[in-house]
Amino acid sequence: MEDKKTSAKVFDRIANRYEVIAKFLSFGILPLWFKRLLEGVEEGERVLDLACGSGILFGELSKRFNAVVGLDYSLPMLLVAKEKNVSNAYLVRGDALKLPFKDETFDTAVVSLGLRHFGDTESSLREIFRVLKKGGTLHILEVGIPRNPILEKLFLLFLKGVILPIGKLLSREEVFDHLFGSIVKFPHREKLTRLLKEIGFERADYESVTFGIAYIYRAKK
């Protein structure tokens, strides 16, 4: 997990280039991950797109929900999201650790590539649990580490030797070290599903995406 201030500063500075950088660093694989994430998201009244960033998911979510509430800490990211002009998407500036919503407000919550930046995974999950209706679902996409030890070594080498230098070049940010450190420290796979159940989710599962360099977690309150 990483320090909240550092994470916020990074996204403030790269907001206008975020989508290009993300596409580049993921070698174009991101749309596939988003597609897999959204495949399991059923229709409903209200969805929380937590750490919505530039609003990449708004288009799809707006077709399935009457209201899409996109919350992010970074104002520059929200300004980019606003330009998407999605009529039923509402933008809120706020902190994932202290959600400005009443208990049981949302049918669904989606966190795409955001959870590992929140600084305190458990507190943010508790907040999500609080604002979800009973029976509501949570869908998380997060970068992971392959379970296979050889793939794990190769992936970490690739992160340090290729992705990190390209990221620094594109973003001109030294703090990219910090962002990738958060991948290593994150509670992946069973650690996260265990935590979700401890918090009170009735069901929590995960699936591996692209050989385990990403995971999708789904939980039901």
Ligand X SMILES: C[S@@+](CC[C@H](N)C(=O)[O-])C[C@H]1O[C@@H](n2cnc3c(N)ncnc32)[C@H](O)[C@@H]1O
Candidates 65, 118, 129, 206: give the one binding ligand X (CB under 6 A): 118
The span of 45-53, 125-133, 163-171, 195-203 binding ligand X (CB under 6 A) equals 45-53
| Closest residue to ligand X using C-beta atoms | 53
Side-chain-side CA neighbours of 127 within 13 Å: the count stands at: 19
Residue 188 binds ligand X, judged by CB under 6 A: no
Task: Considering only the stretches 90-98, 156-164, 167-175, 200-208, report the one whose residues sit in contact with ligand X under the rule CB under 6 A.
Answer: 90-98
By the rule CB under 6 A, 51 interacts with ligand X: yes
DSSP element (H, E) containing 61: helix 58-64
Side chain identity at 123, as an amino acid letter? S
Minimum distance of ligand X from residue 3's CB (angstroms): 10
Q: How far is the CB of 55 from ligand X (least distance, A)?
A: 8
In whole angstroms, the minimum distance from the beta carbon of 139 to ligand X comes to 12
By the rule CB under 6 A, 140 interacts with ligand X? no
Tokens of 112: 């795409």
Q: Does residue 77 bind ligand X (CB under 6 A)?
A: yes
Question: Contact between 122 and ligand X (CB under 6 A)?
Answer: no
Q: Is 112 in the site for ligand X (CB under 6 A)?
A: yes
How far apart CA 41 and CA 37 sit, in angstroms, is 7
Site for ligand X contains 14 (CB under 6 A): no
Residues 11-16: contacts with CB under 8 Å, at least 24 apart: 11/53, 11/72, 11/73, 11/74, 11/76, 11/77, 12/74, 12/75, 12/76, 12/77, 13/76, 13/171, 13/173, 14/171, 14/173, 15/54, 15/74, 15/76, 15/77, 15/79, 15/80, 16/76, 16/80
Binding footprint of ligand X on the chain (CB under 6 A):
4, 7-8, 11, 51-53, 56, 72-74, 77, 95-97, 112-114, 117-118
